Structure 1
């Protein structure tokens, strides 16, 4: 418990008035000073007892697209045998704070409150800790108690409806391993490996299981499985902050559509981030989580990281998300490594301009870029 700024002012004023009253013999000043001190004592008695409650907070959902609603559900239960006076609960979500007025609760009483969380900006937002606060009616004293767990709200980039690319390089396993050894999931048996949670039970290899003493599954690879790589330019010169957010939305939309279609995808940034995942809902969430926290880096980085220009040829399709002022020379190493190269340039210039074997789409924002992309992809 502590005095508020108002309480400290009242304390100082009361001491001064009482002192003037004593020195000058003014009964009125002494009375005013005594009233102030009495109010502070009453405020202390009202706030000295902390709320004896249990608090649980849940987020619904904990991952949300930017601009979509996200709710926090607060459940407050009186764990004591006496009535709990009303108090306030303050919850933080990033730099914003939300106040909830908790009503008076009887013994073992419970109340549920819901409030909306900010989702106007992409990012990973820390929600909490929750602060329980009890004050007196005059606001002279306050008693605060931090409680509850800290939760995380993932505000994903906004996604736009779009088609997905189906380009890929067919390679049969009899010709050797595929360029991406982690491709899994179809007709060609590649290997037998230990079981991990999420594997198909029907793929269990019982002979290998009996021989090794642990569950083993057949590892399949689809030689025709589509592969898509998205390169996001994180340099500030080609993509100023506002356009970078549009670029993140482009990358999120394309990767989400491709992952949900079951395609093997890879996300690379010019700053060096590199994530690959098989298709499906978990893969799409992994990409969206990464794009939720991606930030722009130093302009000294090259557009193409080494992982895209070294090693075996990758095949499949690649989409480069950058600004409109890129040069064809930047893309030259990709033309011999991928069966399909598309550049989405964001900025004031509009149009589609195929050059040197690469398809270049120029658009003002994410919505326009993806509309053009959906109209020209194969």
Structure 2
């Protein structure tokens, strides 16, 4: 509860008038002081009344790419039976506030407000809670209370279409990748016999049933796996504009594009950050909801694009050595894609040392003033100014 400047002045006047009236036996002053004190007490009781409001939110959609439109629909219902609500309310949407009119909201009625959510920057935009301010008619006391929960809107990085997707040293289980090696011990399918097939691979029972020779087709069951390592160290992205590192934003766009292209090609992909970031409030809320089986947040698990939306720069500038050590020990895939900024080129040797564990290593460098010298650490390096330029250069890479 907050007392306004007018309320403070009236309360001080009430104390002074009562003191002077009792001290010098002036009943008129005592009466004025009592009236002023009663007015402040009435204002406090009026502002303390808690309206019964129910708040519902609907984000449309709750996940968008950077720059795409998104809106929030807020529905406020007066759950009281007798008393109308005449309040001042504002909703928090990221860094700005949106006024919500709750004038003469009758019992059992509701009002709906729809407004746009800013999506010009990648990140998690928290929307809510609704803040309702209750004032007395004299403007002496104001009390603000929150209503409803916070709903996050996930602004993903822009996705640029990639034509080429590295398949690594492994091959597909079911022949989705071209050039699948044949002849292993794992059965895949049956096909008609062609000249040159070994007779020991003929499936005689099926051949007798269909009336022609059928041959077992065996393939290599290893599955190609991509590992995307995004450098989120502050030292790797030293240049900032209004607190935003554009090279890191470009790296997030490149990571999102690679992950999306891999999913479309039905290839497994793993997204890692060099320095793990502490969980944001929206992430903690989603993790708690998932742990308790609560579908109030939409029931959608955090995916790679959500992690990219919530990713931020870390102050742990020495995390690259620890990250490469873990990658060397775990061997999480056969193709490693490292995305960094101009400040990360000096430490590409740590990434180059992973070529023994990862047959194919590709490095993307964003925002550098000069191109990376050819043959740096024996790696395939793609220099790009932004995510769109990276997509164009990526499709031109011939060796993975």
Task: Determine if the TM-score, normalized by the shorter chain, exceeds 0.5.
Answer: yes
Gap change, CA 1:63 and 1:172, over 3 Å in 2:
closer
Aligned with 2:320: secondary structure?
coil
What are the Cα deviations for residues 312-363 of structure 1, in whole angstroms up to 9, with x where unaligned?
6943x32211134335533333334444332111233355765265321222
Q: 2:233 aligns with which of 229, 232, 235?
A: 235
Q: Which residue of 1 aligns with 2:213?
A: none
- Aligned residue runs from structure 1 range 221-260, under 5 A: 223=221, 226-240=224-238, 242=245, 243-260=247-264
Aligned with 2:82: secondary structure?
coil
Contact 2:14 2:33 in 1 (8 A): yes
Gap change, CA 1:188 and 1:5, over 3 Å in 2:
farther
Aligned with 2:329: secondary structure?
coil
Q: Which residue of 2 aligns with 1:145?
A: 145
Once the two structures are TM-superposed, the CA of residue 60 in structure 1 deviates from its matched residue by: 2.7
Once the two structures are TM-superposed, the CA of residue 46 in structure 1 deviates from its matched residue by: 4.7
Moved more, 118-127 or 251-260: 118-127
Distance (whole Å) between structure 1 residues aligned to residue 128 and residue 92 of structure 2: 5
Q: Which residue of 2 aligns with 1:300?
A: 318
Q: Which residue of 1 aligns with 2:136?
A: 136
Q: 2:328 aligns with which of 290, 293, 309?
A: 309
| Structure 2: gaps of 5 or more residues | 175-186, 190-218, 278-298
Gap change, CA 1:139 and 1:270, over 3 Å in 2:
same
TM-score (norm 1): 0.69
> What is the number of residues matched between the two proteins?
326
Contact 1:353 1:359 in 2 (8 A): no
Once the two structures are TM-superposed, the CA of residue 163 in structure 1 deviates from its matched residue by: 3.5
Q: Which residue of 2 aligns with 1:194?
A: none
Distance (whole Å) between structure 2 residues aligned to residue 161 and residue 173 of structure 1: 25
Once the two structures are TM-superposed, the CA of residue 283 in structure 1 deviates from its matched residue by: 11
Q: 1:358 aligns with which of 359, 379, 400?
A: 379
Distance (whole Å) between structure 1 residues aligned to residue 75 and residue 124 of structure 2: 24
Once the two structures are TM-superposed, the CA of residue 39 in structure 1 deviates from its matched residue by: 5.6
Q: Which residue of 1 aligns with 2:303?
A: 286
Distance (whole Å) between structure 2 residues aligned to residue 65 and residue 140 of structure 1: 46
Contact 1:349 1:363 in 2 (8 A): no
Q: Which residue of 2 aligns with 1:12?
A: 12
Rg (Cα) greater in structure: 2
Distance (whole Å) between structure 1 residues aligned to residue 40 and residue 220 of structure 2: 76
What are the Cα deviations for residues 81-112 of structure 1, in whole angstroms up to 9, with x where unaligned?
32413212333345544431213122321221
Distance (whole Å) between structure 1 residues aligned to residue 257 and residue 70 of structure 2: 20
Aligned with 2:159: secondary structure?
coil
Gap change, CA 1:86 and 1:312, over 3 Å in 2:
closer
Gap change, CA 1:331 and 1:10, over 3 Å in 2:
same
Contact 2:54 2:78 in 1 (8 A): yes
Distance (whole Å) between structure 2 residues aligned to residue 307 and residue 283 of structure 1: 29
Gap change, CA 1:83 and 1:173, over 3 Å in 2:
closer
Aligned with 2:139: secondary structure?
coil
What are the Cα deviations for residues 132-173 of structure 1, in whole angstroms up to 9, with x where unaligned?
222235532223333323333333334344444143334477
Contact 1:346 1:362 in 2 (8 A): yes
Aligned with 2:75: secondary structure?
strand
Once the two structures are TM-superposed, the CA of residue 267 in structure 1 deviates from its matched residue by: 1.3
Gap change, CA 1:368 and 1:162, over 3 Å in 2:
same
Gap change, CA 1:162 and 1:350, over 3 Å in 2:
farther
Distance (whole Å) between structure 1 residues aligned to residue 162 and residue 94 of structure 2: 31
Q: Which residue of 1 aligns with 2:87?
A: 87
Distance (whole Å) between structure 1 residues aligned to residue 46 and residue 340 of structure 2: 60
Gap change, CA 1:28 and 1:365, over 3 Å in 2:
farther
What are the Cα deviations for residues 114-141 of structure 1, in whole angstroms up to 9, with x where unaligned?
2334444433444433332222355322
Gap change, CA 1:25 and 1:157, over 3 Å in 2:
farther
Once the two structures are TM-superposed, the CA of residue 377 in structure 1 deviates from its matched residue by: 5.8
